[in-house]
A and B are shown apart, each in its own frame.
Chain A
Amino acid sequence: MAVVFGTLGFRPRSLIPTIKSMPDVEKLVFYCGADKSDPEAVKKVADAKRSVLEYCSSMKIAVDPVDLEDPFDFKSIAMRIRTDIRRHRREGKEIGVFNIAGGTKPTSSAALLVCILEGVPTVYIHDLTYEEIHLPLLRMEYNQVLSEEERQILGFLLKNRTKEFTEVELAKALGKHKATINHHLRNLVAKGALRLEKHPKDARKKVVRVEDSTELLLGEEH
């Protein structure tokens, strides 16, 4: 039994073929939302959502519709989807496939990003033929790209993101030698996970800042 994930816009037909083509679908989780300042878009999304709910009800498939507060907020959508996928996996569910054809552009791209990070099979539905197109599964397993020490530093900085750390303070907090921390920080800056900014009061020092994207990179556990 598998869980199908999807994004939904105006057209239920961009999502339903995936439920039909997947054997033993236990549940559908789909993300939808419209520009609230556009009543026509809001109505179209509501109609599409109703159609999908009716279809699932008829087919006796459990369904979990997720109304996105802001379907244009890329980061929050990606975080929400990643959290949901990990939760389902923790519960022992198999993620069958993620259909990213519907919804706003940020919703679709955020879903694709999470599929790459989590290694979830991904499909599109062709706009005209409604044929399923399977996307290449390119999982970027960042455990291989980030060392254990680098992950530890990023995790610590994310947990303490309200505080400011210089290199020396960070070394002290993590119980590491300053030169070791300096080496890891240089690598993390080169990888685009961190940046070093001038200290507001002491130009000789640098403050370590974690990039917004690092939160997406490491996921909700941080």
Chain B
Amino acid sequence: MRTLVSTYGPEDTEKVLLAMRTVPYDRLVLLGEDGAMESEGSRTIQRLEEVSGHELVYETIPDKDFLGMVDMISEVLSSNAARSGGGSGSKVVLNISGGSKLLGDAALLAAFRLGVETIHCDSKATRLPVVRGATAKSMYTPLQTRFLECIEDRPVLGMAITRMQPTSKQGAERVLRELRKVGLVTSEVVGERIHIGLSEEGTDVLRAVKMCKRRE
């Protein structure tokens, strides 16, 4: 099944219609704030979908905190990719031109996290360079992502290395150096012990990687 997911606001009906003309789909999912789906425009889209026999689903994305929105949209994309029956996500296309700026930008970040094909429809449709199937997870090696998972609770260094077994101590230390170099890991001396943990950026990366894993 091919699914078109589109951000939506009451004044963006034309943009969604352009996306509907541009992308072949069997199921339409609109993402919007509370009340956005009560507009005349959304009723028009609903009528069109009824006539064409397509399924229309509304998902409410509260316009509160940005990262929360990114997570919610990632969940919608993941569940629709799973429903479409394809692991690669090739059967879900996202249009980010509707709704508020915050909603569109959150959707774009979610698309990059999950490697979902993305378009922007305003007066014309533009395909965005989100490489299909290239996710936040694919930016890191399996050992690196495992290390990030191991240090989520800020363990002492020795504990983190033990958790990485059967990877050798040298191997785990190499991964630590790599992650520290790119700013994903921080260390802190507490008493006589060194605790390591995720930097703010590392937390975001782990969050994105977990989302990708759930999608798989």
A residues apposed to B, CB below 8 Å: 72-75, 100-101, 105-106, 108-109, 112-113, 116-117, 124, 133-142, 144-146, 190-193, 211-214, 216-217
Are A136 and B101 touching (Cβ within 8 A)? no
The reply on B67 being an interface residue by CB < 8 A is: yes
Closest to A141 in B: B139
The reply on B170 being an interface residue by CB < 8 A is: no
- The distance from the CB of A123 to the nearest CB of chain B, in whole angstroms, is 11
The reply on B128 being an interface residue by CB < 8 A is: yes
A133/B66 contact (C-beta < 8 A), A109-B101, A213-B127 known = yes
A74/B104 contact (C-beta < 8 A), A138-B109, A138-B204, A191-B131 known = no
Q: Mark B118-148, 1 if CB is under 8 A from A, else 0.
A: 0010110011111111101011000000000
Are A105 and B138 touching (Cβ within 8 A)? no
- 22 pairs, CB–CB < 8 Å, chain A vs chain B: A72-B123, A74-B120, A105-B104, A105-B122, A108-B101, A109-B101, A109-B120, A112-B109, A117-B129, A136-B67, A136-B201, A137-B201, A138-B113, A140-B131, A142-B131, A144-B139, A146-B131, A190-B133, A191-B131, A192-B117, A213-B126, A213-B129
Are A138 and B129 touching (Cβ within 8 A)? no
From the candidates A116, A190, A192, name the one contacting B109 in the complex (CB within 8 A): A116
Closest to B118 in A: A213
From the candidates B66, B113, B122, B136, name the one contacting A135 in the complex (CB within 8 A): B66
- What is the interface of chain B mostly: helix, strand, loop, or mixed? helix
Give the chain A neighbours of B196 by CB distance below 8 A: none
Are B66 and A124 touching (Cβ within 8 A)? yes
Give the chain A neighbours of B201 by CB distance below 8 A: 136-137
Are A191 and B132 touching (Cβ within 8 A)? yes
Are A136 and B204 touching (Cβ within 8 A)? yes
A212/B139 contact (C-beta < 8 A), A142-B134, A193-B131 known = no
Closest 5 CB pairs of A and B: A136-B204, A217-B129, A192-B132, A213-B127, A213-B129
Give the chain B neighbours of A101 by CB distance below 8 A: 101
The reply on B28 being an interface residue by CB < 8 A is: no
Give the chain A neighbours of B207 by CB distance below 8 A: 136
From the candidates B90, B108, B136, name the one contacting A113 in the complex (CB within 8 A): B108
A141 CA to B138 CA in the complex, in Å?
10
Give the chain B neighbours of A192 by CB distance below 8 A: 117, 127, 130-132
Closest to A124 in B: B66
Residue in A106, A138, A217 whose Cβ sees the most chain B Cβ within 10 Å: A138
Give the chain B neighbours of A139 by CB distance below 8 A: 139
Are B131 and A116 touching (Cβ within 8 A)? no
A113/B128 contact (C-beta < 8 A), A105-B101, A138-B136 known = yes
